[in-house]
Every structure is written in structure tokens, then in C-alpha cells.
Structure 1
């Protein structure tokens, strides 16, 4: 698998994006997007004020240089991660663990591993985990590719991802029905 090599390149580019965020923010156009030559730093599905991609971020920030810096720190080099991503032709999924595990809007601790393959031999994985941490926050890990996007649209290009955060914000905990755990395929869900 090429993931370790691609992830290393993406991490290096992510660090560069975070360091350059104050400069990158100076180039945001009036329409809220970066010019094409800075597309590597642009979140593909949102303007730099976050209003297309995160309603909560948008509601708590007004379009300004500082907002653009914060958005780049939140989504560093998202265009580059998207470019390193891949597409699938009629993907087949295999899952292990608790697919309901998430940090927001409702916090459900747990972890899962998803593998996807297609008829052309392409494959990818996603490991995601969220566990309690300090100060009412959670540890959040997500490595591989954002395969959840394929569940929404199997033709979508999925970006590479790598995140480890020991103090991520988490939603409220509610009583949830027992999750289907263990191994199952996309045909089982």
C-alpha cells in the first residue's frame, strides 16, 4: 500500500500550510476562495470562511483575514489531501468495529476499521477511533482515507486523512441502542 508514503508527503505539506496560513489568508479573493495557483491550500467543498463546509464555524466567525487563518489551521492543505485521494468503481466495503462511533453531534465512544475495494483492484482503508479524554473532551484518531464520503456518494473522490488529537471537542452523550459490532460487509447494512 502507498498510504505511508502518501501520508508522509501530506503531513509535510500540512505543516507547510499551517506555517504559511497567515500569508495564504492574504490571497483570499472576494468570492471567499483562493486563486487557482493556491488551490493546494483550498478546502475543495468550502470557501475559506467555512460557510460551505461547517455551519458551526461559519456562525461563530465573520469573513476576515483571521477567519481565513483559522480555517486553514482547521483544514490545512485540504486541496492537496484531496489531490492525493482516489476514486472507486462500484466499491465494496468491509467493516470491523462500531460504525456508530463518533464525536459529534452525539458522542459515541468506540473504534472501527473499514476496508474498501473495487473491481479494478483499487483498495483503501480508514481507521477511526474516539475515546474519552480530559476536560470533557475526547481522543480522536482518523487515518487512511475518508471512506465515509463514499457511503454518501460512491463516485466521489476521497481525500487521504491523518488526524490524532487528544483533546477534540465532543458532543453530548445520549443513551444509544447497542451498535452492531464485529465484521460485516456493505451488503449487511
Structure 2
């Protein structure tokens, strides 16, 4: 239970480091090695599961950006201090996940699937964590992109993975088109449509 209580303090610490990463991004980008990764001493700014050009982590980003200094700056702004967030994260022992909210997947790209979910995880050692995520329409054809807590959705892929802390609230995220057919795209609305 202490992890849930401790989360606001960890989130503030991560937020401070995020601001630092955003400000230092142009300088950090100068240190990207030829293999696309930062040196070990800058690893707190490195996205653990991707090179700094985004090609391991986001096919959409990779398709629209070529590896260069500016791409590395943009990637750091997109994923500021991801290594630090990962370090603040948690590892669970046989996690059990409960989920409330929109059935199916929510998401922004390549198809916009609005909705929300709240996930709660407890493992056999009694560790607990939460995640709230939402994608809702906003202004100018954009959407809200909210994710607070821990990236618990990663546990579905690998229950032994270290789960990073997350605090994202962007009211003007890019979004894709709505799916053509609700049944075909697995789209569910929070209001039961």
C-alpha cells in the first residue's frame, strides 16, 4: 500500500527530472552515439526500449523522422527522462490486474479510439499500483492524452517487466481518424454505444 501513497512524491521527483530533460534535450542530443543510444552516464535520459531516433519504440515517429540531432531532441521531448521513470518503476511478482472503464483498447494513433480505463494491480507480495488512462476528443481535431500512475498495460505483454512511473496530461495530442466500423476496429464508447 505504501507504493500508492508514495506515488505523488515519486511523480513530483520524476516531473522535476522531466523538466530538466526537456530543457537539456538539445545538449543531450549531442551525446547520442553512432548506434543511436546515449552513453551509460546519460542513461537516465535514454528510452530503455528504443534508440534515440525512436525506431525501436514508435513506428510512426520513425517513419517521419530521419536520425539526426533534431530527431534526438524531438525524441527526448516526446520521452523525457524515460530511463529515470523506468528506474522509479516497479517489478511485480505474479501480478493480478483489475480494470474498469472502456472495454477494449483506447488509443490515439493510428486510429482514434476514445475512452478511459482505471487499472489496479496487486501482486502476491502485496505490492499495489494504479494506472488511469484516457483519450478523449478536445479542440482543433486533437485529443486529450492522459496517463497517470504506472504503465500497467505493459504487464499484459510481459508480467515480469519493470513498469515505469507515468504522469502525462496533454490536451492537444495528435489523433488518428475514428475507425470505419465499431465492430471491425474493436471500438467501444464509454457511454455504451
Offset at residue 102 of structure 1 (A): 1.9
RMSD of equivalent CA atoms: 1.6
Q: Aligned equivalents of 1:101 and 1:64: distance in 2? A: 32
Q: Aligned equivalents of 2:157 and 2:31: distance in 1? A: 32
- Show CA shifts across 1:80-108 (max 9, x none): 00000001111101111014222222212
Give the one of 123, 129, 133 matched to 1:128.
Answer: 133
Question: Does 1:66 find its partner at 2:70?
Answer: yes
Question: Does 1:157 find its partner at 2:162?
Answer: yes
Question: Does 1:176 find its partner at 2:182?
Answer: yes
Offset at residue 109 of structure 1 (A): 1.4
Matched position secondary structure for 1:150: helix
For these two proteins, the number of residue pairs brought into alignment is: 182
8 Å CA contact 2:115–2:189 kept in 1: the answer is: no
Comparing 82-91 with 99-108, greater Cα deviation is found at 99-108
Please list every run of 5 or more consecutive structure 1 residues that lacks an aligned counterpart in the other structure.
182-189
Q: Aligned equivalents of 1:34 and 1:140: distance in 2? A: 28
Give the one of 12, 19, 22 matched to 1:15.
Answer: 19
Offset at residue 21 of structure 1 (A): 0.3
TM-score, scaled relative to structure 1: 0.92
Please list every run of 5 or more consecutive structure 2 residues that lacks an aligned counterpart in the other structure.
none
Give the one of 114, 120, 127 matched to 1:109.
Answer: 114
Question: Does 1:83 find its partner at 2:87?
Answer: yes
- Show CA shifts across 1:135-173 (max 9, x none): 111011100000110011101001000100011111211
Offset at residue 67 of structure 1 (A): 0.8
Comparing 58-67 with 38-47, greater Cα deviation is found at 58-67
Matched position secondary structure for 2:132: strand
Matched position secondary structure for 1:12: helix
Q: Aligned equivalents of 2:124 and 2:111: distance in 1? A: 35
Q: Aligned equivalents of 1:147 and 1:61: distance in 2? A: 28
Give the one of 165, 171, 177 matched to 1:166.
Answer: 171
Matched position secondary structure for 1:139: strand
